[in-house]
Structure 1
Amino acid sequence: MSVVVITGSSGLIGSESAEFYVGLGYDVIGIDNNMREYFFGSGGSTINNREYLKLKLGSKYRHYDIDIRDYKKIEEVFEEYKQDISLIIHTAAQPSHDWAAREPLTDFHVNANGTLHLLEATRKFCPEAVFIYTSTNKVYGDRPNQLPLIECETRFEIDSNHPYHKGISEDMSIDQNMHSLFGASKLAADILVQEYGRYFNMKTVCFRGGVLTGAKQSGVVLHGFINYLMKCVINGIPYTIFGYKGKQVRDVIASSDVISAFHTFFQNPRQGGEVYNLGGGRYSNISMLEAIELAQEITGKKLNYSFNEHHRVGDHIWYISDINKFTSHYPEWKITKDIRMIMEEIF
């Protein structure tokens, strides 16, 4: 028996990872206590995904309703399956800038301490396993906002001759800028994942994601902007744009392409705490205004939206991932879906 442990197994990336690995014949241990509902209310609940996985995957999927802040419970799971665990995919997190400021202790304990618990359990019980961490581009704080951005009609852009025009690479500084408390807790976890890889020579990797999205995401106001935007257009829910005139740009990648990247690394892992930026890059990116226009075009409906001139603390004006480091290490991996394909699939 070969076992994959997935935290946040009822969320977007976690649930699709569970289906993917069961489809390959693995047994999957899912760890998820639906804390997303605590963060975002009933609209953020992942209970439906959990029940769907249990029904569809049957005995190949075993669910544990465990809080990753509880090290004793995490240790018990890892000890039970220690002979068989070959891969850990850690997606569980508190994912919102704004929410982190409400409860900084909860945010840090989930994002940083929870990651430490999983790393230590891996080191203690299955040190040869591959450990994949879904980090975030927010580890760069608002450093990208210091780039010489150009305001265009529907988006901010960067000059085509600038070194970061193809996207922001892993060499961007993470130091001495505004991260938001969420960005800080995720950065702490990111550094821990790197350190366990380097110090203990484990197969750990941080994927610093842009906008990861897909049809199974429980999009809410504070997280999952593409999914939530489509929900608002389809259901006639008023939508608010926060700051930057709606011209802020994000690169967007489908959950299936994220999991494909995970599996590509898993098949040929590198030692020592690798870090990769992962997103849609220049192939799949969009501004808020452009996303609204595309959503209206796809659905045939009009969105009732308004502007709030105050941007979120630590939020990016322009962020496109440079994914060349990952594709140079793993040239067999390719992005298969652009932003239009993703939004049509959500619709």
Structure 2
Amino acid sequence: MNARLHPARSGFGFVEWFRPGEYGRTEDVLPEIVASGATHLRTHLSWAEYLAPGGEEWFDWLLPKLSAELDVLPCIHYTPPSLSRTGKATGAPRRLKDYADFVDHVIDRYGRHFRHIELWNEPNNLLDWDWREDKDFSLFCEMVGGAAYWVQKRGWKAVLGAPCPFDPAWINLMGQRGVLDVVSAVGFHGFPGTWDSDEGSWNGWDLHLGELRRIVDVYNPGAELWVTETGYSTWRQDEVEQVRRFMAALSVPADRVYWYSWRDVPHDVAVQEGLWFDPRHYHLGATEHGGRPKLLARLLQEGGVRRVQELFTLAKPSIASSVAPVVITGGSGFIGSNLASSYLREGRDVVIFDSLARPGVDSNLAWLRDQFGDRVHSCIADVRDAAQVRDAVRDASVVFHLAGQTAVTTSLDHPIEDMEVNVRGTLNVLEGARAAPRRPGVIFASTNKVYGALEDIDTVATAKCHQPADPQIARNGIGEDRSLDFCTPYGCSKGAADQYVLDYAKSYGMPAAVLRMSCIYGPRQFGTEDQGWVAHFLIRALRGERITIFGDGHQVRDILDVDDAVAAYRALHANVGRLSGQAFNLGGGPSNAVSLSMVLAEMARIIGEPVETAHEPWRTGDQLYFVADTARLQAATGWQPTIPWKRGVLRLARWLQAERFADAPAARQRRLSA
């Protein structure tokens, strides 16, 4: 599916309701919408709110603010209760002409800020228009028809508010009553996959808009068709599907399309009177209500519609029925893309299952496609989507489950999402593999965080690092016989998933095993402050930026080059039948045990100048010391690390210089020391 605008229009819009007094929210949201590439904005100008205390001042500020950046479509609805026949905002005004008079006032006061004006919203919906008091819509037709006539007379263009749900008979009634004669556009609302069922009442954009076009052409062939609301709720965390629905909406045969909405609604705000109960209403945004971009917002802000289209041209889920591919969840990530490359170089077919939620990882997928072409089969989906997982692993020869929420800090901020991704996602993978005909082996990427903060291990502080007082631990590291002690939501979720994998091997006889990883680093890593610290440090050092150290910088980790990590995953896969039901530590071991300060000193040597640092307090769950004892893995598979940490860090620095800084100004290019 191509993310291309329909030839009948240019640009697309968002719907965003701004409530009176939301000055700060408006200031935050408006530049985000502009950065998305949107050209239009549909918002409401509530008649009831305008006449409430402070209403004039609010809209005097809001409309000029919005129209300075976007083509604004104000939707005028909601009767002031004092003027309503029912005493509610959904009732018809006692004097129907009052609505037209208010529209005329809006044109006088704000007309320079818009060319089109929408008359009411969802008039066949009881929550917006009380049709119980207007069963034949005669009041509505007189009210809106008169206002539309006056809008046209004044030289502006009226848009008829869309019925929701879509009702062809209602549209035809508007034609018979003469309303369609005096409007320039007719609205349409459609939310396929959210409220309407693709198998039920929703019959597709072409059919519904075609039906609308046939009715409108009878009364006013020159009127345009506008999709004034469409969207997709991510209440099931399916951000990828939201992007797909957005792409589909771009190509609908309408003159304008408005996507509902830019931001989620906070859970403590009623979407409509009495509606706090339906979670779908609260997750329609391209960003969360706190501002965190979902996949759709991130892609649009990275490059607009073109960026969305680029991403989904990478998707190629089809695969020959006779092929038993390697399936890698999280296959566009750092370890996943390196692991995929190792199999693809041997001529294997690989299914990359990835939600692309982590910024930058789609470049890894593009790299794989460029290098290996049609043997890369990408499935852009989330591991929380059980059906997608089941389809992806159906023919697998092996499943490497690397997808997950990977940061302790994120788990502390969003523990429920962390649990759903890491625990539920892993169960979906296990169930999919259990149902697959070939009974593929499952290799799970766990973490050393399952051992907790290790606060009971006494350490001795030296000038460079914290060392265990126990000579055996200092010599060998932490072994798998260490008791599990889940710490932080991330440790709990990964630990629970770890145990599920081991139990499925026992309870169902599945070939499944676990690798509990230390710090892996290397090419194709997009490190952040919260995860992937070696790459994060190098990126900031190469930019000449300050690096934040949490704690004293003497905490010790055994870092492992990704090529060695890939070799370990493959070695475990080769022996998974014999080693099923077992967990193994994976890290650089004592020979690659380093403190953060030691790594920073080596980075300074590589780039040829000091690295600036700043210190912050210790973070929850941070271990003073973790070095993996990998003796069990070595004995069971013959694997061992081969790349010394200094050589690996230099290799990563050179890759980052070539890939991330190749287009940087000459002043930023650095000569890296060997």
TM-score (norm 2): 0.48
Contact in 2 for aligned 1:234/1:301 (Cα 8 Å): no
1: CA distance between counterparts of 2:441 and 2:647?
Answer: 31
Which one has a bigger Cα radius of gyration?
Answer: 2
State the one-letter code of the partner of 1:318. Y
For structure 2, which runs of at least 5 residues remain unmatched after alignment?
A: 1-322, 654-674
Q: Secondary structure at the match of 1:165?
A: helix
Shift of 1:160: 5.9
Q: Identity rate of aligned residues, in percent?
A: 28
Aligned match of 2:466: 156
Which stretch of structure 1 is more off in the superposition, 88-97 or 265-274? 265-274
Shift of 1:115: 0.6
The C-alpha deviation readout for 1:151-178, integer Å capped at 9, x for no partner, is: 1111000136335631000011113xx6
Which stretch of structure 1 is more off in the superposition, 298-307 or 107-116? 298-307
2: CA distance between counterparts of 1:161 and 1:105?
Answer: 40
Which stretch of structure 1 is more off in the superposition, 161-170 or 69-78? 161-170
The C-alpha deviation readout for 1:26-54, integer Å capped at 9, x for no partner, is: 110001111123xxxxxxx2121111111
Q: Secondary structure at the match of 1:246?
A: coil
Aligned match of 2:556: 249
1:311 aligns with 2:626: no
1:133 aligns with 2:444: yes
Shift of 1:103: 1.0
CA RMSD of aligned residues (A): 1.3
2: CA distance between counterparts of 1:342 and 1:174?
Answer: 30
Aligned match for 1:92, one of 386, 391, 403:
403
1: CA distance between counterparts of 2:411 and 2:499?
Answer: 19
Aligned match of 1:27: 349
Shift of 1:193: 0.6
After TM superposition, the structure 1 = structure 2 runs for residues 41-52 of structure 1, keeping only pairs within 5 Å, are: 45-52=360-367
Aligned match of 1:107: 418
The C-alpha deviation readout for 1:177-217, integer Å capped at 9, x for no partner, is: x6111111100110011011111111111100000111210
State the one-letter code of the partner of 1:235. R
1:167 aligns with 2:489: no
2: CA distance between counterparts of 1:96 and 1:28?
Answer: 26
Aligned match of 1:345: 651
Q: Which one has a larger percent strand, Structure 1 or Structure 2? A: 1
Aligned match for 1:282, one of 577, 590, 608:
590
After TM superposition, the structure 1 = structure 2 runs for residues 149-228 of structure 1, keeping only pairs within 5 Å, are: 149-159=459-469, 161-163=471-473, 165-175=475-485, 179-228=487-536
State the one-letter code of the partner of 2:383. I
2: CA distance between counterparts of 1:95 and 1:267?
Answer: 26
Higher relative contact order (CA 8 A, sep 6+): 1
For structure 1, which runs of at least 5 residues remain unmatched after alignment?
A: 38-44
1:123 aligns with 2:410: no
Shift of 1:338: 1.6
Contact in 2 for aligned 1:214/1:342 (Cα 8 Å): yes
1: CA distance between counterparts of 2:609 and 2:356?
Answer: 32
TM-score (norm 1): 0.92
Shift of 1:2: 3.0
Aligned match for 2:384, one of 69, 82, 94:
69
Contact in 2 for aligned 1:202/1:271 (Cα 8 Å): no
2: CA distance between counterparts of 1:279 and 1:272?
Answer: 20
Contact in 2 for aligned 1:129/1:203 (Cα 8 Å): yes
1: CA distance between counterparts of 2:557 and 2:413?
Answer: 25
The C-alpha deviation readout for 1:121-158, integer Å capped at 9, x for no partner, is: 0001146311111100001111x231111111110001
Pick closer, same or farther for the CA change 1:225–1:163 going to 2, 3 Å.
closer
Contact in 2 for aligned 1:127/1:202 (Cα 8 Å): no
Shift of 1:77: 2.2
Contact in 2 for aligned 1:36/1:94 (Cα 8 Å): no
2: CA distance between counterparts of 1:90 and 1:162?
Answer: 33
